[in-house]
Amino acid sequence: MNPSESQFPPRPTALVQQMLGGMICEGDLVIDATAGNGHDTLLLAACVGESGRVLAFDVQEAAIISARGKVSAAGLANRVEFYQESHERMGDHAAEESVAVVMFNLGYLPGEDHERTTETGTTLGALDVAVGILKPHGVLAVVCYPGHPAGAKEAEAVEAWMTVRVAQGWRVAKYGAIGTRKPAPFLLVAAK
Ligand code: SAH
């Protein structure tokens, strides 16, 4: 990380990749709850190694196609199972306390139908499901986008949800730029 570059401080999307890259082990089962264009799916697939697995969810076919293409081009398709389903269904595909990391990158699919954004109700529902399938000491990571009204409401609700986890003994942190023209994207990370 070079502080003279424009990439400093790192964006939440870069920071979450650095953090998760350092904690995912060979053989882990991990979940990308919002596959989108597959940038995070690819990183997760690289981290879990030959014996690990990534479950990747997205409701949009365009996202699944894009993400699958990225993973296939890297030769990692055999490590990833794609589901064109809402992330609230992740519990149908992973056993209780089996998952090392669940990550969400909220908002809309860049370059595609902006209508199909994540929504507060389903996001919170999926976070509740994630709690059950995460291992003890498993990590939940959520990149929030408060820069537009709906995203701000969703980000606020996710942060409130995380605050409840703190009261239950989880360790939670928030990272994001300050003093920006519009509220900047931020990362919430939580350890069970
Ligand atoms: N905001 C990010 C990209 C987020 S992509 C950025 O700027 O890079 C978010 C993805 O979540 C989209 O591809 C969208 O289709 C997907 N999504 C929306 N609702 C979902 C749901 N209920 N379950 C799974 N994926 C969902």
CA separation for the pair 170, 192 (Å, rounded): 5
CA of 32 to the centre of ligand 1 (A): 10
pLDDT of residue 167: 96
CA of 167 to the centre of ligand 1 (A): 28
pLDDT, one tens digit per residue, over 72-129 is: 999 999 999 999 999 999 999 999 999 999 999 999 988 766 668 999 999 999 999 9
Q: Residue whose CA is closest, atom 8 of ligand 1? A: 110
Tell me which residues have their CB closer than 6 angstroms to ligand 1: 34, 36, 57-60, 63, 86-87, 105, 107-110, 116, 118, 122, 145
Q: How far is CA 50 from CA 31, 77, 80, 170, in A?
A: 16, 11, 11, 30
148 pLDDT more than 90:
yes
